Structure 1
Amino acid sequence: MESFGTHDGPGVRFVIFLQGCKLKCLYCHNPDTIAMEGGKPYHVDELFDLILKSKSYFGKKGGVTVSGGEPLLQAKALIPLFKKLKEEGIHTALDTNGRILNHFAEALMDKYTDLVMLDIKHMTEDGYEYITGMKNNQTTFNFSQYRERSKKTMWLRYVLIPGITDHPELLVSMGEQFKDYQSIEKIEIQPYHKLGVHKWKELGWDYQLKDARENTENEIETAKEILRPYFKSVVVN
C-alpha cells in the first residue's frame, strides 16, 4: 500500500496493490505481484479504516486507487470496499489491464468506480503476446468498449518502449481506435524505465528487456505530437 500516491489517478491517492495477475509483461515494475499466491490478506473493514486515516490528504481530487497485479481478479471482494468508499464520498479508481470482464467486474465498475485507468499494452496481436505472454489483444478493446457504453470516465495508459511500442504507425493505430470515445479524458504516456529490474533479479527471473533503453525527450515529444489530434489530453506520467 502507498498512502501518498501522486501518479495513480487524480490528486493524492491511497494506492492498494493487489496480488495476482494473468499477464507477465516484460516491463512489469511490480513482478512480485504477478503470482497468485503471496501478499498480505486484509479484511475490507481493515482496509477501509486505513484509508479513512488518509482521507484528509485527498482534498477535492484525490481518493483511492486499486492496482496490482490485476485488481479485477478480486472484483467480487472489492465491491463491498468500494461501496463503503462511495458512501464516504471518496473517489475510486481502478488501474487495470482490461483482461477480465465478468459479472463482478461489471458490477464494480458500473456502480462504484469513478475512474478506470486502462493499460494499453500493444495495438497488434503479435506485439501484445510478445509483451504480456498471453494471446487475444481483443480483450482490451472489448473492455474499453464496455466502459465507453457506460458513459463513465476512463484514462488510457501506454508504456513507450523505444523500438517496441513507439513506432508511429502503432501510435496512429491507437489514436484511430479510440478517437471517437467520449469516456476518455486523457491518455498518459509512461516512459520506459528499469526501476523494477532489481525485483526480477530477486525473484530469479530473466529480465528480457535488459537491452532496452530509456526514451529521449525528443522521442517522448514526438509521441505526444502524434497522439494529440486523437485525444482531449496527452500527458507524460
Structure 2
Amino acid sequence: MAATIIRPEGCEALSLPDEAVRLDAPLQAPADRRSGAGLDGLTVAELDRHERLLAMREGRLGSVHSWELVTAVDGPGTRLTTFLSGCPLQCLYCHNPDTLAMKDGRPVTSEELLARIKRYAGVFTATGGGITLSGGEVLMQPAFAARILRGAKELGIHTAIDTSGFLGAAATDEMLADVDLVLLDVKSGDPDTYKKVTGRELEPTLAFGRRLAEMPDGPEVWVRFVLVPGLTDAEDNVEKVAGYTASLNRIRPGAVTRVEVLPFHQMGRDKWATLGREYQLDDTEPPSPELTERVRDRFRAHGLQTY
C-alpha cells in the first residue's frame, strides 16, 4: 500500500519569488532530440535568471524532484509518478522533506518529461495505467503541470494529480479537463487539527473538493487520509472527513470512487535529521491494525469504498 512507501509531500512558499528559483543543475536531455528544445534551442544552463523564470511561468520548464514507475499506487495500473518540488503546507508527518523547496529540484523541460512519458505509452496501455503528477504539491507549478497533462492527453494517456487541494484556485478549468483522476489528500476535517498538521487553513481544500464535485464531467476523485495516532485519529475528526467525503457524492453521484486510509509510518524520520529540521512526531507510533480498520469502517458507514 502507499503508506509503506516513502512518498514526497511537504511544504514551502506559496508564491514563486525570484529568490526561490535556483535551477543550476544541467538538464539531461534525451539523446534522440535537440538539447534544450522548447527553450528556443538553448540549454537550461545557457538561460539567464529572467529567461528561466519566464520559462517556468509559461510551463516550459519545471522543478522536478524525481520520478518512478510504480504499480498499485498513485492511481490505476502501472504509472509514471513525477514528484514536483515545492509545497505550501508544513505537514508534521511529511516523509520526504527533501522535496519541500522548489529551488532544490532539478530543472526539467516539459518536452523532456513528455518524451519520457511517451516511452512508456505501451506499458500504460497494457496495464490500464498512466501518469501521476505529485509532489511536493503539483499546483505549485500549475503552468508546467498543465503542459504535461495536455501533452499526455494528446498521447491518449490516463492522467492523475495528487494534491492537497490547498492551491486548488491555481488549477484552471482547462487544466482540470485534462485530468482523469484527482488524488485529494484531506489531512483533517477539523480546522484546528488541520492547522496543527499543516500550518495552513482547511477551507481551500474543502472548496477544491466541492469544485471538483460540481463539475458535471469532472474527474474521478480518490480521497486520501493519513491516520496519525494522537493527531488525526480523534473520532470527531475522522467523522468530519468521512462526512465531507460523502457530501461530494451528494453533489455529483459517483464523484468519489475510493477512499484510502493510510497508516502513519516513520520511514522518513531520518531525512528530517539529515536536513537539520525538527521532527515533532519522533515518538509517535504507527496506528494499530485494529484502529486503522475502525477508521476505515467510519468511512464505509457513509457508503464509501474504503481501503
The bucket for the TM-score relative to the shorter chain is over 0.9
Q: CA deviation at 1:225?
A: 1.4
**8 Å Cα contact 1:2-1:14 kept in structure 2:** yes
- State how far apart, in whole Å, the 1-side matches of 2:224 and 2:109 are: 30
Aligned equivalents of 2:133, 2:174: Cα separation in 1: 16
Which digits, 9 at most, give the CA deviation of each residue in 1:110-140, with x for residues without a partner?
x200001110111111111111122x21111
Q: Is the 8 A contact 1:186 1:231 kept in 2?
A: no
Q: Cα deviations across residues 34-70 of structure 1 (Å, max 9, x unaligned)?
A: 1131111111111011112222222242100000000
Shifted more, 202-211 versus 75-84: the winner is 75-84
**Structure-to-structure mapping, 1:183-222, within 5 angstroms:** 183-222=255-294
1:103 and 1:66, CA in 2 relative to 1: closer, same or farther beyond 3 A? closer
Quote how far apart the aligned CAs of 1:105 are: 3.9
Q: Normalising to structure 2: TM-score of the pair?
A: 0.73
Matched, 1:234 2:234: no
**Equivalence for 1:64:** 131
Task: Confirm whether residue 38 of structure 1 aligns to residue 110 of structure 2.
Answer: no
One-letter amino acid matched to 1:144: G
Deviation at 1:104, TM superposition (A): 4.3
Q: What is the percent sequence identity of the aligned residues? A: 35
Contact 2:223/2:245, CA 8 A, preserved across alignment: no
Give 1:127's match in structure 2, choosing from 193, 202, 213.
Answer: 193
Q: Which residue of 2 aligns with 1:97?
A: 164
Distance 1:231 1:95, change over 3 A: farther
Is the CA contact 2:163–2:185 (under 8 Å) kept in the aligned structure 1?
yes
Secondary structure of residue in 2 paired with 1:77? helix
1:92 deviation in Å? Answer: 0.4
In structure 2, which of residues 34, 51, 75 is the aligned counterpart of residue 9 of structure 1? 75
Query: Could you tell me how far 1:232 is from its partner in structure 2?
Result: 3.1
Decide which moves more: 212-221 or 57-66: 57-66
1:143 equivalent to 2:143? Answer no
Q: Which residue of 1 aligns with 2:146?
A: 79
Distance 1:83 1:34, change over 3 A: same
For 2:296 and 2:236, how far apart are their aligned partners in 1? Answer: 13
Which range moved further: 94-103 or 20-29?
A: 94-103
How many residues align? The count is: 233
Q: Distance in 1 between matches of 2:173 and 2:100?
A: 23
| Gap runs ≥5 in structure 1 | none
For normalisation by structure 1, the TM-score amounts to 0.93
2:240 to 153, 173, 186: 173
Whether the 8 Å contact between 1:160 and 1:190 is mirrored in structure 2 is yes
- Give 1:107 deviation, angstroms: 2.5
- What is the Cα deviation at residue 86 of structure 1? 0.6
Shift, 1:28, TM fit:
0.6
Matching residue of 1:164: 231
Identify which of 152, 171, 176 aligns with 2:219: 152
Q: Which has the larger radius of gyration?
A: 2
For 1:190 and 1:3, the matched residues in 2 are separated by 20
The letter of the residue matching 1:2 is E
Range moving further from structure 2, 112-121 or 224-233: 224-233
Q: Which structure 2 segments of 5+ residues have no match?
A: 1-66
